[in-house]
Structure 1
Amino acid sequence: METDDLSAQIHSLDPAIGLRAVGALHRLAEQVEAAQVRAARRQGWTWEQIGDALGVSRQSVHAKYRE
């Protein structure tokens, strides 16, 4: 999905289109978050540092991403 297409969907007056865009954004955000957590761990970041950067507790980010 291209950015312009997604932008148009987000601003659509049709809730079915807008809600599908919201779902796509949630999936994309989860993928980006997971990739960045992996990168941070590879660089030696602690779970506390990652949690702080994400605005969540270290326990919640660790529970979500521990391997």
Structure 2
Amino acid sequence: MDVEELSQRIRSNDPALGLRAVGALHRLAEQVEAESVALAREQGWTWEQIGDALGMSRQSVHARYGK
């Protein structure tokens, strides 16, 4: 699903289309977050710095991505 299609679905009066678009956006956000956390760790960021950037505790970020 591309950006234009997501945009159309979000504006749709059909809740099924809107909800599918929300799901796709959620999955994309999770993927971008995971890749950004991995990059930050490769560049020497601490879990605290990453947590601050995400508005989460360092413990929460570490529990989610520290594997």
Q: TM-score, normalised by structure 2?
A: 0.98
- Matched pairs, number: 67
**Aligned residue number for residue 37 of structure 1:** 37
Unaligned stretches of 5+ residues in structure 1: none
* Runs of 4+ more than 6 Å apart: none
How far did residue 65 of structure 1 move? 0.2
Unaligned stretches of 5+ residues in structure 2: none
**Aligned residue number for residue 58 of structure 1:** 58
Could you report, residue by residue, the CA deviation over 1:10-36 in whole angstroms, capped at 9, with x for unpaired residues? Answer: 111100000000000000000000000
Residues 1:23 and 2:23 are matched in the alignment: yes
The 1-side partners of 2:57 and 2:21 are apart by: 28
Q: Percentage identity across aligned positions?
A: 73
Give me the CA root mean square deviation.
0.5
